[in-house]
Structure 1
Amino acid sequence: MDCGTSTAKYVLFAFNTVVVIIGLLGIVFGALILNSIGVVEVNGQVGFPVQAILPILLITLGSVVVFIAFLGCCGAIRESVCMTMCYAVFLLVLLIIQLAIVVLLWANKEKFNAAMGEVIDKAWDERRREPAVFEAIQQSLKCCGKSGITDYVLSVEAPPASCCEHNDCLNPLNIYGGCRSKFQEFMSFSTDTAKYVGLGLIVVELIGFIFACCLANNVRNYKRRNAY
């Protein structure tokens, strides 16, 4: 095996070891966010609120990254053209998907924020038919009504205890703000963070893709020369 191939082999192995660590950190980070959001119990049913979708996606992405990087490590050490090329293809597909998501989030930030507001609007409009959904949102976000406690007043409804800190609505200072703005702020911050993390991963994955193609090509050529 020539020096260039050996270098590509060990660089790719070291690179994927780092990627595995990054993927595991992503899983841990997502789990910590999920734990901070916590579960809510409404009418005896326990589950994650709607904003838990982002940390769940982060955990899923981290798991996929760890699997692909592990495949790359095995391909590099075994000098397997098949495994290395499979790794490169998986990495390329993941890179394209992430790039598409980042571009969409960047180009449609206002539309995304409006869509997140509509999620709260819809949950508020359907609260009489599905009260557990909006109650879960209020508990997890520590908010009250669509725009504030005035929504309950205008609807001639008594605000639930979840509208207030320590379930004490007698003190006006304990009343939370509206869920629409809080949910939009939470999702906007989360998506901004996801965009920059995604860009960093894309650069890292592109480097891995290049090294994987170089290694697979060098190993293939080396085996062809030895076959004669």
Structure 2
Amino acid sequence: LHCCGSHDYMDWKDTKLGHVPISCCMNTTSCDTDDVKQIYTEGCYDKVVNFLDANIGLVGGAALGVAFFPLVGVILSCCLAKNINKAKYEQMA
């Protein structure tokens, strides 16, 4: 996403780390995290919200796709339990 921190890169200054992590660098192989020109300064929160807004159909479709199989499993489990319970009480001839 090319971002750093929640609101901006300064969010990292108040953490136990005390400085911007290497993941905020534009070039992770050689980066001075104290040099603002070498790091992403824009925060990630707005970028993630904008990405989700722009791709809400894809996100919703993926969520439904992931939820589909467990839901089918629950429905089939209920059908199986109902049939097992029903078979218990059938008369034997």
TM-score (norm 1): 0.26
Q: Please list every run of 5 or more consecutive structure 1 residues that lacks an aligned counterpart in the other structure.
A: 1-116, 144-162
**In the alignment, what sits opposite 2:81?**
216
1:126-165 maps to which residues of 2 (within 5 A)?
127=13, 129-130=14-15, 132=17, 134-136=19-21, 139-142=22-25
Q: Tell me how far apart the structure 2 counterparts of residues 203 and 221 of structure 1 sit (CA, whole Å).
A: 27
- Residues 141, 179 of structure 1: 8 Å contact kept: no
Q: Tell me how far apart the structure 2 counterparts of residues 118 and 164 of structure 1 sit (CA, whole Å).
A: 16
- Residues 24, 39 of structure 2: 8 Å contact kept: no
1:132-211 maps to which residues of 2 (within 5 A)?
132=17, 134-136=19-21, 139-142=22-25, 166-167=30-31, 175-180=38-43, 183-184=44-45, 185=47, 188=51, 195-211=60-76
- Residues 164, 175 of structure 1: 8 Å contact kept: no
Deviations 1:18-38 (A, max 9, x none): xxxxxxxxxxxxxxxxxxxxx
* Cα distance, 1:195 vs structure 2: 4.0
1:24-43 maps to which residues of 2 (within 5 A)?
none
1:71-82 maps to which residues of 2 (within 5 A)?
none
- Residues 165, 175 of structure 1: 8 Å contact kept: no
Q: Tell me how far apart the structure 1 counterparts of residues 68 and 12 of structure 2 sit (CA, whole Å).
A: 43
Deviations 1:153-206 (A, max 9, x none): xxxxxxxxxx8761269xxxx8343241xx2446746x9665433211222222
Q: Tell me how far apart the structure 1 counterparts of residues 88 and 32 of structure 2 sit (CA, whole Å).
A: 75
* Cα distance, 1:135 vs structure 2: 1.8
Aligned residues: 82
Q: Tell me how far apart the structure 1 counterparts of residues 48 and 70 of structure 2 sit (CA, whole Å).
A: 28
The one of 110, 124, 127 equivalent to 2:10 is 124
* Cα distance, 1:219 vs structure 2: 0.7
| Structure with the higher fraction of residues in helix conformation | 1
Deviations 1:39-79 (A, max 9, x none): xxxxxxxxxxxxxxxxxxxxxxxxxxxxxxxxxxxxxxxxx
Larger Rg: 2
TM-score (norm 2): 0.53
Seen in structure 2, the aligned counterparts of structure 1 residues 132 and 219 have a Cα distance that, compared at 3 Å, is same
- Residues 25, 39 of structure 2: 8 Å contact kept: yes
